[in-house]
Structure 1
């Protein structure tokens, strides 16, 4: 039986709210909804495209710690507060997930902070060794 492993990004919200950036259990990695917050600089860019790029950097870091990559993503959920922000993100999504081509859903909904313009959640599969 595989042990559940929790991965943290170092965000203060993980401790304050009570969640993990990612959880590895069995053959899958579940990555929490991830925003464009740059934890190293403790900042968030203004533009949605820049935020989407940072989301993928944050997700890729969690996946790497789990032992996989963006190419192993099988499911993705995008949340954008403003519908018009979604089409500018398409090239970013294609660049990061174009090989994996996961099942995908996009919803329009508010996020925790008005500065956040996109949130991305993914599920990936661990590679069999």
Structure 2
């Protein structure tokens, strides 16, 4: 039987809305759209670069619990309310994905909270024995 397991991330939004930070489905790991909130304090920085860094820390925690690293990411989606906020994030994003080179999409759209300036979603494939 294929393993299917939810990985909580500690966000109050997960409980309120009814989703998991990530889902392991066999060798695939789907990480929900993740924002720059520090889920231990439920605070968020004002700057988009700082938010991107926190997004990646949150994603890394979910990937680690799923048995993955950024090297296993095959798809990344960036969602931003303002297109001009994307380029300042490139150096931060490149640190995680520059060598991995996953498929990527950037979309301009509204986010759930006006303080959110970036949301990142990833899909990864676990190496299984």
TM-score normalized with structure 2 length? 0.97
- The answer for the alignment partner of 1:7 in structure 2 is 7
1:74 Cα deviation after fit: 0.1
Distance in 1, matches of 2:89 and 2:51, equals: 9
Q: Secondary structure at the match of 1:33?
A: strand
**Greater than 2 Å deviation, 4+ residue runs:** none
Give the alignment of 1:1-129 within 5 angstroms: 1-129=1-129
Distance in 1, matches of 2:3 and 2:83, equals: 39
Summarize deviations over 1:57-105 as a string: whole Å, max 9, x none: 0000000000000111000000000011000011111001112110000
Q: Secondary structure at the match of 2:122?
A: strand
1:41 Cα deviation after fit: 2.3
TM-score normalized with structure 1 length? 0.97
Distance in 2, matches of 1:92 and 1:18, equals: 30
Unmatched segments (≥5 aa) in structure 2: none
Distance in 2, matches of 1:60 and 1:127, equals: 16
* Bigger Cα displacement from structure 2, 52-61 vs 1-10: 1-10
CA RMSD of aligned residues (A): 0.8
Aligned length: 129
